[in-house]
Amino acid sequence: MQQQEISLTSAPLKRGHLTSIILAWSYILSCRWVEILQEAGWNASIQHEKGLHIADSFWKLVTQGRWQASVKTAKGTHYSPWMLIESNRNLKLQKWWARSPASLSAFEMLLGSCISEGLEAELLTGLASVLMLLSRNEQPWLSPPTSIPKTPTTPASTCSARSHALYKLWGCLDKAMYLSSTRAAIESLIRSAFFDLSVPCDLLGASFSGIREALSSADEFDPQRALHAITNRRPHLSPLWAAEICMDPDTLSYEVLNCLPPICLPAALWTGTMQSFLQVAYRSDEPAEPEAKLLRAREFQIAYFCQPSIPVPETRAPPFGETILNNVSREVETHMAHEHMTRSWQMYWTTTSGAKKPATAQYVLELVEARMEKDVVDYNFDEEFPIKLREAVDEISCGATRRMFNWHREYDGGISLDDGTMSPETVRCLQAHPWISGPLTDSDKSIRVGEENDHWNGNNQRIPIKEERKGGVSASEYILEWHKEVKRCQRSEDARVSS
């Protein structure tokens, strides 16, 4: 399908029509769910209120929720996870009629209506909205449904070239449902939209401040500007972002821009989306003496790929800098020459006996190479740089760096920041940095930006910035003082060398 043919940004989506389309997709995915379970021998069924048929009552059926999809097991009755309207259990049993699931017929009716009414953008956004349901704890915010004219009788698959392109959605539906039901997959795709693989974890906050400025209007996050940017930068993610904006407009904020978890490598590989530094082959700008040093990004990658039981690091951005080979673990040293990378992927079925059987072909990945940005020489803020943003920038870099180094301490025995150019005193000072030595806290998981003179306490309440200070020193000032101490150590070291 040519995504550029259907614009999600040229005009505002018709919210009432979008609601009707979302409800239709809910029905279609639930029908397909029943078909899959029935093919596997499960006791699943789709039921309509008595007297309602797809052929003559499609929109009444889906917009009024006069249907239910369920499967009966030894543990009870379970309803389709894509059902937006809860089953009307008050209806007497004789008012429910079991029907043969007809997901393809329902899809063709929906597609025909959307094409005839010019609702192609709503069609794509509606599908993305329903796929997001399994990653949300609460039901989405929706406008009242708007009536859509009767579906054309001509099958959508035989209409225009555009309808032929949209018809390909049907062939992808099972894959989309699988993605939707994979834990954290959809959310990880949304959060990966602005991931820059060249920015190390300690500079992630600085990257965030630039993205924030580019996507703001009058110092407020502008969702439509963000959608325009994603349509140009990551077009395959634009339906998900359009759905996020439509379904959760009040809570969408800068938090979706800062590359926080979750991370789902399977979803990244299936969709060809960059989500983690583990997918990138990093190269050094200083090729001399390759035996003497190792990029920390490569060190962490080797540590991950050589231990299949450990979890993915919860930081997308790579660790900064290099390390000398005396610092790496024996496991990493053993595998350094093996060039371990994510080179292909394949899905397997795991049987009850634990055996694995191939479920798909093996797909070879194109190797992505990158070089990291250098560390900022001076850590200084302009006096006009708002305190609220300064704190947010610090928290993002702090959270990303802490998650990275806590992961390494737990699964690869810790790390030394000695790169062979510093004295032991300077190395000790660096390793005492709160971003590296501190434990994970709740503030590492979410970034909240308030008024300029506001900060946030652990109870999600704004407090004046002066109340956040400990011993008369704010978080940013503490980092600056630490930076001065590192500079002092380096000057002392330089003085000893010159003498």
Q: Of the candidates 347, 272, 361, 284, which has an alpha carbon nearest to the alpha carbon of residue 318?
A: 284
Residue 490, sorted as left (phi over 0), alpha (psi -120 to 50) or beta, turns out to be alpha
Task: Identify the residue with better confidence: 1 or 256.
Answer: 256
Rounded to the nearest angstrom, the gap between the alpha carbon of residue 185 and the centroid of all alpha carbons in its chain is 7
Dump pLDDT digits (tens) for 156-198: 444 566 677 888 899 999 999 999 999 889 999 988 988 999 9
pLDDT at residue 450 is higher than 50: no
Whole-number Cα distances in Å, 60 to 102, 106, 188, 283: 16, 13, 35, 59
Quick one: average pLDDT of 216-241?
87
What pLDDT score does 194 carry? 87
Higher pLDDT, 402 or 461: 402
**pLDDT tens sequence across 207-227:** 888 888 888 887 777 888 888
Once rounded to an integer, what is the mean pLDDT over residues 298-303? 93
* Block residue for tokens 């392109």: 165
Asked if residue 447 has pLDDT above 50, the reply is no
d(CA 152, CA 101): 21
pLDDT of residue 474 exceeding 60, the answer is: no
Query: What is the reported pLDDT for 375?
Result: 55
pTM of the complete model: 0.81
CA 338 to chain centre: 30
Q: Is the pLDDT of residue 306 over 70?
A: yes
CA distance 78 to 207: 45
Block residue for tokens 């109340």: 467
- Residue 380: φ, ψ to 5°: -135, 140
Average pLDDT score over residue span 435-450:
56
pLDDT tens for each residue of 103-157: 999 999 999 999 999 999 999 999 999 999 888 767 777 888 998 886 655 554 4
- pLDDT higher than threshold 50 for residue 406: yes
Q: Which of 8-17, 62-71, 393-402 has the highest mean pLDDT?
A: 62-71
Nearest to 149, CA basis, from 124, 104, 116: 116
- Rounded to the nearest integer, the mean pLDDT of the chain is 80
Q: Worst-scoring range by mean pLDDT, 199-203, 311-315, 385-389, 410-414?
A: 385-389
Q: What pLDDT band is residue 349 in, cutting at 50, 70 and 90?
A: confident
Angle at 278 between CA 272 and CA 284, to 5 degrees: 115
- Among 400, 163, 498, 459, residue whose Cα is nearest residue 392: 400
Q: Report how far residue 432's alpha carbon sits from residue 405's, in angstroms, rounded to the nearest whole number.
A: 12
Per-residue pLDDT for 2 more than 80?
no
Name the residue with tokens 């990029």: 295
Question: Closest Cα to residue 311, out of 408, 423, 430?
Answer: 408
Residues 357-377, mean pLDDT to the nearest whole number: 83
pLDDT over 80 at 472, yes or no? no
What band does 269 get if pLDDT is binned at 50, 70 and 90? very high
Measure CA of the first residue to CA of the last residue in the chain; give whole Å: 69
